Structure 1
């Protein structure tokens, strides 16, 4: 028999929009929304998250998930909740009514590919690619907003530069990144935004599959050196590996290097 607490949390997250909630209920409601596959409720909860950190694995690791839960939509909703909050902060920099305090979204320790399983088969989605797309989206919106603000200020005052506005500190997303041919380009663009962006990728584990050393090196050069712990490289020639090796010395916290299918290529 389900507990009264269980029944109450699942009843609350069925409402749209969610009612005003005390902060201490957010973790339990998040678990209920994730377990039930309620993407809209997850997005609302993340956009108003009242704590500095949200550690996804810690919240969902003990849940009994239904096989038909829309897992892709739930993961996308978590990311979109952060994006919508950052966009709101850009548009209304002094607005604090939402109560959102989120500064770190931790998505480490999770399989990169997320699946929706249905009786007709399954579809997949890459968390690395989704996060990279979100970083680029926020950065572009940030640039557009700053350009509009600068133009408005020029029309009003004739000044050549815009007034300094309060700057939201942004959100760091800690993740294990899996890069392949499909995600390589967008991930490179996201990492090059770096500290200038409001949504910043911090990589703990970096895995590259079926891309060349020439493509891997710029990605490594764009990573925050203080965060990387493990690197895994697959399907490289020995010449390519030797090209990458010197770039790993910039990571003082690196603890593991795994090599898969490294082949002799005449070097």
Structure 2
């Protein structure tokens, strides 16, 4: 008899919850008598077994103030489960006014690693850790307003308490992309908001828009104050500033431009004025914008210190690299991506200064396809090795030789925090030593074997080297 893996053996609690949800009618009746602490494993089991009706009833009877998908393994396309959870919300229901303990006021449909299903056991008397803090319709804002009113008119306290307890927050991440199912889900959310008479606050934290021209009108029902991450593809700066004039609490902004979009004229000025209002911005990525000669204007309007700056395919000039090397942003930057730019048109001196300025904080550096030759790589190697916090370095698709690669490996293995290197196929592996000819696979295998052996000799097997990005 084959021995069963211990991890595959269900616990007594798992067996009990599966048995309970297998009979929906019995399970739903049991919710009225179920102890609080058993709701969490029951909810987890219902998610795993995709029990939509049971999930709806669990949400209706949820005994805690918040419920999070958290780290549960639920596919982003499982809209039937998400709709069942939202359907279970008791918006402006008398159940929310019962005295039997805290009732659900925050439903969080986002997948977040290491997020607990409820905050109840960490802080029984505090608000949910993930509750909205910006919107005028959030629970926190409503309660603060009501507390202020109580100081003026104590006789209205009972009515105000009812209003506060009626407010429910639904936290989501929304991606506008192709597909009828996502469009149905968004329409479902809009309908629930309309039916709630203002008692359901939809709080969208992350917004992804794949094509601005297709989805412009669909985002208008969202409250921009809640959005802290915006990811847009094929965007025109004019559409961005017109659509989101009040989107001021962004932590993360990633924009991929429409083809041939130049950063000049009135639209660029409006964009810079809009960008200058984002005083919480930490992560900025602009791709395929023609920023040549304008990086100084962009950096000058930033109100906060960035953790991450990505400017791939932005046609950066040597002057732009010089401007960046002098920017105060380099004193704090942890991630920098300057890929697909010819950074060394004039000289490599400015880039050396850039690495010196960022050496104490830089953890992730990407300079793919930047026309880095052996002589340039040799000149900046010493500066690279002094980046004491560097963990990830990607310099693939640059024309360097195996000799330069070996010199780099021998130097960089002393950087003990460096764990991941993505390197280019050396010119020695091409039939005619350029990127436009056939690769000699035998030579490539020899290169990979040499890299592996050198890492073993340096006792750095913990450092992972690869040719292509994932």
Shorter chain as denominator, the TM-score bin is: 0.5 to 0.7
Match of 1:86 among 88, 91, 95: 91
- 2:73 counterpart of 1:74: no
Q: Distance in 2 between matches of 1:45 and 1:102?
A: 10
Query: Once the 2 structures are TM-superposed, how far is the Cα of residue 55 of structure 1 from its aligned partner?
Result: 0.6
**1:190/1:231 CA distance change after superposition, 3 Å:** farther
2:241 is the counterpart of 1:245? yes
Q: Deviations over 1:20-49 (max 9, x none)?
A: 211111111000111112111111101111
In the TM superposition, residue 191 of structure 1 has moved relative to its aligned partner by 10
RMSD over aligned Cα atoms:
4.0
Matched, 1:171 2:172: no
Once the two structures are superposed, the pairs formed by residues 94-109 of structure 1 within 5 Å of their partners are 96=98, 101-109=103-111
- The 3-state SS of whatever aligns with 1:107 is strand
1:231: which partner in 2?
230
CA distance, structure 2, for counterparts of residue 37 and residue 170 of structure 1: 28
**Number of paired residues?**
197
Q: State the distance in 2 between where 1:4 and 1:80 align.
A: 30
1:6-29 CA deviation, whole Å, 9 max, x = no partner?
111111222323412111111110
What does residue 43 of structure 1 align with? 56
CA 1:71/1:258 → structure 2, altered by over 3 Å: closer, same or farther? closer
Give me the whole-angstrom Cα distance separating, in 2, the residues matched to 1:231 and 1:204. 9
Question: CA–CA distance in 1 between the matches of 2:98 and 2:247?
Answer: 37
| Deviates most, 203-212 or 164-173 | 164-173
The higher-RCO structure (CA 8 Å, 6+ apart) is 1
Q: Determine the structure 2 residue equivalent to 1:205.
A: 206
Aligned with 1:212: secondary structure? helix
Alpha-carbon distance change, 169 to 13 in structure 1, aligned in 2, over 3 angstroms: same
After superposition, give the CA deviation of every residue in 1:43-83 in whole Å (9 maximum; x if it has no partner). Answer: 1101111111111123x14xxx8x9xx9443222112111x
Per the TM alignment, residue 204 of structure 1 is displaced from its structure 2 partner at its CA by: 0.7
- Where do 1:120-135 residues align within 5 Å? none
> What is the DSSP-based 3-state SS (H/G/I as helix, E as strand, rest coil) of the residue aligned with 1:250?
coil
Q: Give the 3 Å change call, closer, same or farther, for CA 230–217 of structure 1 in structure 2.
A: farther
Counterpart contact for 1:188–1:218, Cα < 8 Å: no
**Structure 2 unmatched ranges of 5 or more:** 1-8, 113-158, 268-470
Distance 1:188 1:53 in 2: 19
